[in-house]
């Protein structure tokens, strides 16, 4: 029987098809091998920092009424945004935008004071787009800093940014800014450290010192946002630009902020509780770390519980204490009489201790103002402001000035309205009590006064002590 031959074409098609498939796979593999390192190369330090930090950066929206015309928002020489902005007519409702970042998972956010100044409502927009109301915990007008607490659902926690160091910054070092410029949420820019220890003055009343200068693109709305190093650590708080130049931005150094943090989160002043100890930050090879006890009050809660000088606080109520901020936030949630479980590291061992929180009496603001300043003050209400045509609807109005007093020497008059004292805004008698309670005799303190259409800042000098100077009592936490 003759052998049957298959048509050549019947074999040729599958062979060619298989060859094509092999070639396609080889080409795809080669392309993938080329693309993989390319994508890896594209994952730059800036990309990594943004991926790491974006969840802890927030946008801040405020609503308020502008009551004066100025080329800056707010006060003539105390800009509410140190970016140059057009003037607004009195009575204009304004929605301002700014930035901030989370320093503690419990919802504590840092921003610039001028971002939230005079705000009637504050809203924080998180990275996931959700909006939450926020309350002001504390402000420092002198250093343009504020701490907010976001109103979160029970059990919710936010990612927080670690604080780095600014004392070892290098000129030319890469820095990254994340913020809300012109309302464009979570915009990232990068640049370098252009210079260190810059000073900047606005008008006659605001001066920033020790600023970080950067050429990273900083725009209106970036105020309060973080300036980060390539390790995604905060090394500055974006604050200002030169409006007459390009590529010149400024940030408050994180070391300056770290020094002010105890006051901004001072549970003794804010929540009126205390433990009877002093503490600093444990120094490590990297950023400063856990709180370390440096002094103890006689018969204070900490001393009675067995805390010793040199103890390093590692946890409170089973929550890790990695930074001083962790300790402050824990204590902000405590009331007098509460028990706190504290774990301390001592030598090579660990001790578990239980402390009972003590209350700190709140001083009488009206009596304290009369004694220290020599002025009678009353809280301004909307009705009071309308009836007497006061210059501000919030603050403390002077009703009487004692002859020969510090207030008289400063030039205060009845119907003047105090809106700021020291580093804080004042609207209630409790506010002024907190501002004056630790002021020693003979001290000088800056006050903000509104009279008619004028707002001015002056220095009030308290009466000198009657007897020989005595060592000031230690202030225990």
The closest alpha carbon to 200, from 244, 144, 242, 140, belongs to: 242
Inter-residue contact 127 to 244 (CB < 8 Å): no
User: How many residues are there in the chain?
Assistant: 477
58: how many CB neighbours lie within 10 A of its CB? 30
**Cβ neighbours of 370 (radius 10 Å):** 17
3-state secondary structure of 475: coil
Asked if 118 contacts 235 with a C-beta cutoff of 8 angstroms, the reply is no
Q: Token match 């946008």: residue?
A: 59
Residue keyed to tokens 């989160």: 265
Count the Cβ atoms, other than its own, within 10 Å of residue 185.
17
Catalytic annotation, pick one of 144, 255, 416, 431: 144
Give the angle 95-50-324 at the CA atoms, nearest 5°.
80
- Which residues, including other chains, have CB under 8 Å from residue 318's CB and lie 6 or more apart? 341
C-alpha closest to that of 279 among 344, 347, 333? 344
**271 catalytic residue (yes or no):** no
Dist CA 241 CA 179 (whole Å): 14
The whole-angstrom separation of Cα 395 and Cα 379 is 6
Catalytic-residue membership of 114: yes
Nearest CA to 106 out of 161, 55, 53, 157 is that of 157
Report the run of H or E that residue 382 belongs to, with start and end: helix 382-388
Report the alpha-carbon distance of residue 53 to residue 159 in Å, rounded. 9
Write out the DSSP string of 137-165: EEEETTTTEEEEEE---TT-----PPB--
Is 144 a known active-site residue? yes
Residue with tokens 């701490």: 147
From 138, 223, 253, 405, the catalytic residue: 223
Mode of pairing for the β-strands spanning 312-316 and 339-346? antiparallel
Instruction: Give, in order, the Cα–Cα distances in Å from 289 to each of 49, 258, 279, 301, 441.
Output: 22, 11, 12, 24, 35
Q: What is the DSSP letter of 277?
A: E
Of 61, 99, 104, 114, the catalytic one is 114
The tokens for 151 are 């109103």
Six-digit token string for 301: 């809660």
Task: Give φ, ψ of 372 to 5 degrees.
Answer: -80, -40
Active site residues: 114, 144, 223
């Amino acid at each position: 029987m003759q052998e049957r031959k298959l048509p050549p074409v019947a074999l040729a098609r599958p062979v060619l098809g298989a060859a094509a498939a092999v070639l396609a796979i080889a080409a795809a593999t080669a392309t993938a091998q080329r693309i993989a390192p390319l994508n890896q190369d594209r994952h730059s330090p800036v990309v990594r920092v943004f991926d790491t930090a974006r969840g802890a950066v927030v946008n801040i929206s405020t609503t308020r009424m502008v009551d004066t015309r100025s080329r800056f928002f707010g006060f003539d020489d105390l800009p509410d945004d140190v970016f140059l902005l057009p003037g607004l007519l009195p009575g204009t409702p304004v929605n301002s935008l700014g930035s901030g970042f989370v320093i503690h998972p419990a919802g504590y956010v840092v921003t610039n004071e001028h971002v939230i100044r005079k705000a009637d409502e504050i809203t924080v927009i998180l990275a996931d787009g959700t909006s939450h109301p926020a309350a002001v915990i504390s402000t420092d007008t002198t250093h343009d800093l504020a701490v907010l607490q976001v109103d979160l659902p029970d059990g919710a926690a936010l990612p927080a940014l670690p604080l780095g160091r600014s004392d070892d910054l290098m000129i030319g070092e890469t820095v990254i800014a994340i913020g809300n410029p012109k309302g464009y949420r979570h915009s990232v820019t990068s640049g370098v450290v252009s210079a260190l220890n810059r000073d900047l003055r606005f008008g006659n009343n605001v001066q920033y010192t020790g600023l970080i200068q950067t050429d990273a693109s900083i725009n209106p709305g970036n105020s309060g946002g973080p300036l980060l190093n390539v390790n995604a650590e905060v090394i500055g708080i974006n604050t200002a630009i030169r409006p007459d130049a390009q590529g010149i931005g400024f940030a408050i150094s994180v070391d300056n902020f770290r020094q002010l943090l105890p006051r901004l989160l001072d549970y003794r002043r804010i929540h009126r509780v205390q433990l009877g100890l002093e503490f600093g930050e444990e120094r490590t090879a990297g950023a400063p770390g856990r709180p370390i006890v440096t002094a103890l009050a006689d018969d204070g809660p900490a001393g009675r519980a067995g805390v010793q000088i040199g103890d390093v606080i590692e946890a409170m109520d089973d929550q890790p204490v990695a930074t001083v901020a962790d300790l402050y936030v824990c204590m902000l949630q405590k009331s007098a009489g509460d028990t706190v479980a504290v774990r301390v590291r001592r030598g090579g061992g660990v001790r578990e201790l239980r402390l009972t929180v003590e209350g700190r009496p709140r001083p009488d603001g009206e009596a304290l103002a009369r004694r220290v300043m020599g002025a009678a003050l009353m809280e301004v209400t909307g009705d009071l402001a309308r009836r007497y045509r006061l210059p501000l609807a919030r603050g403390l109005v002077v009703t009487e000035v004692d002859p020969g007093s510090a207030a008289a020497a400063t030039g205060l008059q009845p119907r003047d309205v105090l809106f700021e004292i020291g580093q804080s805004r004042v609207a209630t008698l409790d506010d002024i009590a907190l501002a004056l309670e630790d002021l020693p005799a003979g001290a000088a303190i800056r006050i903000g006064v509104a009279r008619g259409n004028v707002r001015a800042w002056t220095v009030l000098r308290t009466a000198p002590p009657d007897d020989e100077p005595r060592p000031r009592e230690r202030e225990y936490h």
